[in-house]
Structure 1
Amino acid sequence: MSIKGKAYVMGAYEHPTRDAPDKTTAQLHAESAKGALEDAGLSFDDVDAYFCAGDAPGFGAMSMVDYMGLRNVRHTDTTETGGSSYLVHLNHACQAIAAGKVNVALITLAGRPRNGGGRPGGPGGGGGKPGALSDGAPEAGFENIYGGSTHNTYGMCAMRHMYEYGTTSEQLAWIKVAASHHAQWNEHAFLKNVVTVEDVVNSRMIADPLHLLDCCVVTDGGGAVIVTSPEVARSLNRPKVKVLGAAEAPKMPLGGQELDLTYCGAVWTGPPTFAEAGVTHADIKYASIYDSFTITVLMTLEDLGFCKKGEGGRFVADGNLISGVGKLPFNTDGGGLCNNHPTNRGGITKIIETVRQLRGEAHPKVQVPNCDIALAHGTGGSLGVRHAAATVIMEREA
């Protein structure tokens, strides 16, 4: 069953906080949910499906359904795929709506890594101590003993891409530059200062060849989206954002047997999403690309097919991702690189800014003219190694 045209994103809300010492994670989830429901013109009592991932506290969906007083929920989904979870949830919500199981789905994300929550980038399982055995993920006992971290893994991807294709640090830096040009107009962005290529490559090294400014910010915060049936969407006095296509896929090294650091799961999620949506790359006016690191964006753009493999460096250079300047405006809220990256994932913000662009509600300085079709993509886990990808294409309904 295709989900094309079977569901609509009718509410979207990004929590304005980036530092929440006085709020719990549950509060951030609930406040984000309230904001998205008000944006859609709905109430908590209208929600009959709830979606969350590992950032939800307690027993996840059970705890949050109780905390938010969701009396009419009859469908829950706690699929956990890291930063791509929320695009996966959007796909699953559309599937449930298309099957006639639910009418109003709520998806939430929230985290407090700046105030006691887990910070992104640290080793898992064995507590981060080299040599420690792990009762967590099975691969941790083989990898964490060497002090592995998220930063190291992405650094290896960047280094291999440079070796294979001649990609440069200056080309990667253009991704941060583009994000900063957009973030300057976002009053809630964690980093608002515009940076140059020189600023990026001269910032301190974190995991060779990735510099500090190649890495995402660490913030508290949250967000939520509301997905509805066409019938509910028609009853609401809000711009209608229709989901055209979606796909998800994991990419695993299979114990090292299939380890290739130069591509990501977007090679599998891109083609079926475009096919289901019935659009081409030339139709995409805006792209929200998960940007945990600059290399994440570059590899994703290649693997989604916006440029040939190995040509990502040239594609992103010279401001080609800047709204009003380049050929493919991306992350016009500033993205994870400058705006917001709560908990250790920020995938829901990719949906939220895509919805803003399609509604014509992005900041006037970054709003893409005639933005009728847009793409959002999430990456969860470790790029190029062990991760899950999810892609969604949406359209503004006239």
Structure 2
Amino acid sequence: MKKAVVTGSYSTKVGELEGATCMSLHTEAGLGALADAGLAVSEVDGLLCAYSFTEPHLMLASVFAEYVGMKPAYASAVSMGGVTACMLVMQAAALVEAGYCRHVLVVTGDNRLSGMRGNAVQALAEVGNQQYEQPYGMTIPAAYALVAQRYMSEFGVTSEQLAAIAVTMREHAVLNPKAHMKTPFTVDDVMNSRFIATPLHLLDCCLISDGGAAVVVSAADAAADLKKPRIDILGTGQGHTHEYIVAAPSLTDYGCKRSAADALGRAGLKPSDIDVVEIYDSFTITLLAELESMGFFERGEAGAAAAAGDLKIGGKLPCNTHGGLLSYGHSGAAGGMFHVVEAVEQLRGEADGRQVEGAELALVHGDGGILSAHCSVVLGRA
């Protein structure tokens, strides 16, 4: 029996949520995950939060604990960009496995779409090394466009193949009543949308959304009486190669190669064993690069696989079955947590209308920065 299990999960609606705040989204997501697990606030002895751009706090976990009347034995907040959610799940598992906590609430949320103003926008705009990148106008899309250009040059990836990824994510979002965007589009629509940073079009880029999501990670022996089927945390891993893209040792190999290998190795599995993957997709090229680096496809094959429909529900490797960051929604650290919640729902058999038949094993992956920091989590149906 595994020592750490997911016992509760919840995600809010996403999109432009009138009146939403960082704390309201944290509260809805956190209390929703506890209700899903059948736990009271008083039963939680561990609390992990991420960060907020719209309401920055030096001690966000303490702020949230006070807000909902929680008095945890352990509390912390982590800020590692898009990889944060998976890292928090990994940390929560370590806490219960080490015996420090019995039930850890992991909660994320931000009103990125309706609440981004002034300094928050500036903070996102100032990506890149202050000496070698910022003075030349580096943006996040431009950095990922650099990766896309290299893949096109080295492995023959085409814009149409990247567009097929975006189309697949939208098809999945259409099946999800909570998704931010549910209007279908075609490869031609992606190709005809305006360039953001060549070769990335508008529809190759993720959304900006309001939303929150949370999970409860419990010690396995504390989960026996809880109402929902537990999901085992089978293996976790991290990988870090650089912070700034100017210092990346490669534009085709990233820390996800190590994080996935470690997570799968600790689970005693290989990529071909996985039934469904929920992988960070800030841009279409992000998903393609990570699928290949992690060993789900050989070099140069993921684009063709996407065009052939292999990433669709019912395909060879269903991917981002909720619609991903590209179409479900992206709200900072909550964007990564949406992937975790979707994996839990798939493994429980609760993904109504988009269920992957017979899903027993899932891999969730998050990355932060410009493919800088990586964390992989393997989950299994108990």
Which of the five TM-score ranges fits, normalised by the shorter chain? over 0.9
CA distance in 1, matches of 2:104, 2:81: 20
CA distance in 2, matches of 1:264, 1:138: 17
1:285 aligns with 2:284: no
Greater than 3 Å deviation, 4+ residue runs: 121-125, 253-259
Partner of 1:132: none
Given candidates 373, 377, 381, the residue that maps to 1:392 is 377
| AA in 2 matched with 1:69 | G
Post-superposition offset of 1:263:
2.4
Cα distance per residue 1:143-178 (max 9 Å; x no partner): 211111111111111111111111000111111111
Post-superposition offset of 1:27:
1.1
Partner of 1:359: 348
| AA in 1 matched with 2:84 | S
Post-superposition offset of 1:315:
2.6
| AA in 2 matched with 1:361 | E
Given candidates 302, 306, 310, the residue that maps to 1:316 is 306
Post-superposition offset of 1:251:
2.2
2:99 alignment partner, SS class: coil
Partner of 1:76: 75
| AA in 2 matched with 1:165 | F
Cα distance per residue 1:49-80 (max 9 Å; x no partner): 11112227422112111112112x01123222
Post-superposition offset of 1:330:
0.8
CA contact (8 A) 1:150 1:382 kept: yes
Partner of 2:114: 115
CA distance in 1, matches of 2:136, 2:326: 27
- Where in structure 2 are the equivalents of 1:120-269 lying within 5 Å? 124=123, 128=126, 139-252=129-242, 256=246, 258-269=248-259
Cα distance per residue 1:69-96 (max 9 Å; x no partner): 112x011232221111111111111111
| AA in 2 matched with 1:279 | L
CA contact (8 A) 1:200 1:211 kept: yes
CA distance in 2, matches of 1:178, 1:168: 16
TM-score (norm 1): 0.90
Judge which range, 88-97 or 73-82, deviates more.
Answer: 73-82
CA contact (8 A) 1:123 1:149 kept: no
Given candidates 355, 361, 367, the residue that maps to 1:373 is 361
Partner of 2:317: 328
1:60 aligns with 2:60: yes
| AA in 2 matched with 1:233 | A
- Where in structure 2 are the equivalents of 1:84-95 lying within 5 Å? 84-95=83-94
Judge which range, 193-202 or 290-299, deviates more.
Answer: 193-202
CA contact (8 A) 2:176 2:323 kept: yes
* CA 1:262–1:185: 2 relative to 1, 3 Å: same
Post-superposition offset of 1:19:
1.6
The percentage of aligned residue pairs carrying the same residue is: 37
CA distance in 2, matches of 1:138, 1:319: 35
* CA 1:333–1:377: 2 relative to 1, 3 Å: same
Cα distance per residue 1:8-28 (max 9 Å; x no partner): 111110111422231221111
Structure 1 residue ranges without an equivalent (≥5): 129-136
CA contact (8 A) 2:3 2:221 kept: no
Partner of 1:131: none
1:139 alignment partner, SS class: coil
TM-score (norm 2): 0.94
* CA 1:172–1:305: 2 relative to 1, 3 Å: same
